[in-house]
Each structure stands twice: as structure tokens, then as C-alpha cells.
């Protein structure tokens, strides 16, 4: 019988501002966390991701490479970011040149179980629970649905 390879999760090579709180267990590595950030349990934040000051990343969220999140944001429970759009009908299989970046502005709230594809989201936006953001959001407002649509301007 073969034995599995065990890889420990944890906090490795993270550039942290002041007063950052991280609740274990997490897998947070090679990223940047601004002042007063909070990272809940069972979160993964991958290398190169950047989380702005006073932003909360709640439990079970996934923030992949090439994601930048602004200040004063909330990434709610189970929210996921995607950097591979499967543009050629399948995964990039490690070819990072096919990945795309996501930029989230300041004062953005992303609801529980929302999925954010590689897009730009402006400041002052609310993304509803379960929404799937497939296109850039350039107008402050409340967005929900699959695909996410503007419900009301803020």
C-alpha cells in the first residue's frame, strides 16, 4: 500500500501590515495583507495576491494568484476567485500566461459563495450571495445573479 505525500498548510512568506489577525487553519502564502486585515479559518490566499487594509476575508474563501483586493472590503464565506477562464475549452494546465488578473476596488462587499472571474470591480460595490461576476463592474451599485447584473446604483 502506498503512503500519501503530506503537505502542511499554514502561513508562509506573508508580508503583513500592523494588527493583522489570522484564524488557523489557513493556507496563506506569498501574499500581502494590509493593516488591520482579518483572515478567517479555512481560507487560502495564494502567492502574489494582495489584500488591502481593513479588509476581511471570511471562512472558506479562496483568493488565487493575480487577485488584488482594495481597502475596507469584505470577502464573505465561501467566496471564490478564478484566474483561469478555460478560454481554450479546458484548464491552462500550469501555463500561467493564460491566467488573467482580478482587481477589486475599495469598499466592495462580496457575498457568500460568490464567484469572481478575472474582472475589474470599481469602488463601492455590493456583490450578492451566490453571484457569478463574469464581466467588469464599472458603476457603483448592487449586483446579483448568474451572471451578475446591476440591481440598483449606489
Least confident of 34-43, 93-102, 138-147: 93-102
**Angstrom distance (rounded) from CA 132 to CA 144:** 8
Any idea which residue has 460595490 for its cell? 125
- pLDDT the model gives residue 29: 97
Which residues have a catalytic role annotated? 60
pLDDT tens, residue by residue, 11-21: 999 999 999 99
**Angstrom distance (rounded) from CA 36 to CA 17:** 7
Q: May I ask the CATH class of domain 11-153?
A: mainly beta
- pLDDT the model gives residue 89: 84
Least confident of 34-48, 56-70, 76-90, 116-130: 76-90
Check if the beta carbon of residue 113 is closer than 8 Å to that of residue 96.
Answer: no
Instruction: Look up the pTM and report it.
Output: 0.94
Amino acid at each position: 500500500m502506498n503512503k500519501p505525500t503530506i503537505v502542511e498548510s499554514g502561513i508562509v512568506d506573508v508580508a503583513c501590515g500592523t494588527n493583522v489577525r489570522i484564524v488557523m487553519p489557513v493556507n496563506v502564502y506569498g501574499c500581502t495583507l494590509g493593516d488591520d486585515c482579518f483572515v478567517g479559518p479555512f481560507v487560502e490566499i495564494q502567492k502574489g495576491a494582495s489584500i488591502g487594509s481593513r479588509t476581511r476575508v471570511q471562512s472558506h474563501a479562496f483568493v488565487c494568484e493575480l487577485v488584488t483586493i482594495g481597502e475596507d472590503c469584505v470577502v464573505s464565506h465561501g467566496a471564490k476567485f478564478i484566474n483561469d477562464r478555460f478560454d481554450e475549452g479546458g484548464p491552462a494546465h500550469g501555463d500561467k500566461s493564460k491566467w488573467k488578473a482580478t482587481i477589486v476596488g475599495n469598499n466592495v462587499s462580496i457575498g457568500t459563495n460568490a464567484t469572481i472571474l478575472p474582472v475589474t470591480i470599481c469602488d463601492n460595490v455590493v456583490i450578492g450571495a451566490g453571484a457569478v461576476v463574469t464581466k467588469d463592474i464599472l458603476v457603483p451599485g448592487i449586483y446579483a445573479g448568474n451572471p451578475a447584473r446591476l440591481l440598483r446604483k449606489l
